[in-house]
Structure 1
Amino acid sequence: MVYSANAERYGNMTYNRCGRSGLRLPAISLGLWHNFGGIDSFENGRAMLRRAFDLGITHFDLANNYGPPPGSAEEMFGQMLKQDFLPYRDEMIVSTKAGYYMWPGPYGEWGSKKNLVASLNQSLKRMGLDYVDIFYHHRPDPNTPLEETMAALDLIVRQGKALYVGISNYGPEETREAARILRSLGTPCLIHQPRYSMMGRWVEDGLLDVLEEEGIGSIAFSPLNKGILTDRYLNGIAPDSRAAGPSVFLRSEELSEEVLGKVRQLNALAQERGQKLSQMALAWVLRGGRVTSALIGASKISQIEDAVGALNNLNFSTEELARIDGILAQ
Structure 2
Amino acid sequence: MQINDHNPLLPYQPASDRYDQMKYRYCGKSGLMLPEISLGLWHNFGHNADLTLGRKILRRAFDLGICHFDLANNYGPPFGSAEENFGRILKKDFLPYRDELLISSKAGWDMWPGPYGNFGSRKYLIASCDQSLKRMGLEYVDIFYHHRPDPNTPLEETMGALDQLVRQGKALYVGISQYSAEDTAKAYEILKSLGTPLLIHQPRYSMIDRWVENGLMDVLGQKGVGGIAFSPLEQGMLTDKYLKGIPADSRAAKDGRYLKPEQVAPEKLEMISKLNDIALKRGQSLAQMAIAWLLKDSRITSVLIGVSKPEQLDDNVAAVKNSTFSSEEITQIKTILRV
TM-score interval (norm. to shorter): over 0.9
Match of 2:332 in 1: 323
Task: Give the residue type in structure 1 aligned to 2:85.
Answer: M
Determine the C-alpha separation between the residues in 1 that align with 2:145 and 2:253: 33
Match of 2:4 in 1: none
Question: 2:55 aligned to 31, 39, 46, which one?
Answer: 46
Match of 1:59 in 2: 68
Counterpart of 1:226 in 2: which secondary structure?
A: helix
Question: By how many angstroms is 1:246 displaced?
Answer: 5.0
Structure 1 residue 147 corresponds to structure 2 residue 147: no
Task: Give the residue type in structure 2 aligned to 1:45.
Answer: G
Question: 1:30 aligned to 39, 64, 71, which one?
Answer: 39
Match of 1:192 in 2: 201
Match of 2:214 in 1: 205
Q: Among all aligned residue pairs of Structure 1 and Structure 2, give the percentage whose two residues are the same amino acid.
A: 63
Once superposed, what is the RMSD of the aligned Cα atoms? 0.9
2:141–2:170 contact (8 Å) kept in structure 1? yes
Task: Give the residue type in structure 2 aligned to 1:287.
Answer: K
Match of 2:229 in 1: 220
Q: Deviations over 1:307-328 (max 9, x none)?
A: 1101111110111011111112
Structure 1 residue 85 corresponds to structure 2 residue 91: no
Counterpart of 2:179 in 1: which secondary structure?
A: coil
Question: 1:160 aligned to 144, 155, 169, which one?
Answer: 169
Determine the C-alpha separation between the residues in 2 that align with 1:312 and 1:163: 30
Match of 1:16 in 2: 25
Match of 1:131 in 2: 140
Counterpart of 1:51 in 2: which secondary structure?
A: helix
Match of 2:14 in 1: 5
Structure 1 residue 271 corresponds to structure 2 residue 294: no
Question: 2:289 aligned to 275, 280, 288, which one?
Answer: 280
Equivalenced residue count is 330
Task: Give the residue type in structure 1 aligned to 2:89.
Answer: M
Counterpart of 1:209 in 2: which secondary structure?
A: helix
Question: By how many angstroms is 1:222 displaced?
Answer: 0.4
Determine the C-alpha separation between the residues in 2 that align with 1:201 and 1:79: 37
Q: Deviations over 1:198-233 (max 9, x none)?
A: 001111111011011111000000000111000111
Task: Give the residue type in structure 1 aligned to 2:11.
Answer: V
Task: Give the residue type in structure 2 aligned to 1:18.
Answer: C
2:145–2:176 contact (8 Å) kept in structure 1? yes
Question: By how many angstroms is 1:265 displaced?
Answer: 0.8
Determine the C-alpha separation between the residues in 2 that align with 1:165 and 1:54: 27
Structure 1 residue 70 corresponds to structure 2 residue 74: no
Question: 1:175 aligned to 171, 184, 187, which one?
Answer: 184
Q: Deviations over 1:30-84 (max 9, x none)?
A: 0001111110000000000000000000100000000111111101110111000
2:28–2:299 contact (8 Å) kept in structure 1? no
Question: 1:314 aligned to 314, 320, 323, which one?
Answer: 323
The list of structure 1 runs, each at least 4 consecutive aligned residues, that deviate by more than 4 angstroms after superposition, is none
Task: Give the residue type in structure 2 aligned to 1:50.
Answer: R
Structure 1 residue 99 corresponds to structure 2 residue 137: no
Determine the C-alpha separation between the residues in 2 that align with 1:242 and 1:307: 18
Task: Give the residue type in structure 2 aligned to 1:141.
Answer: D
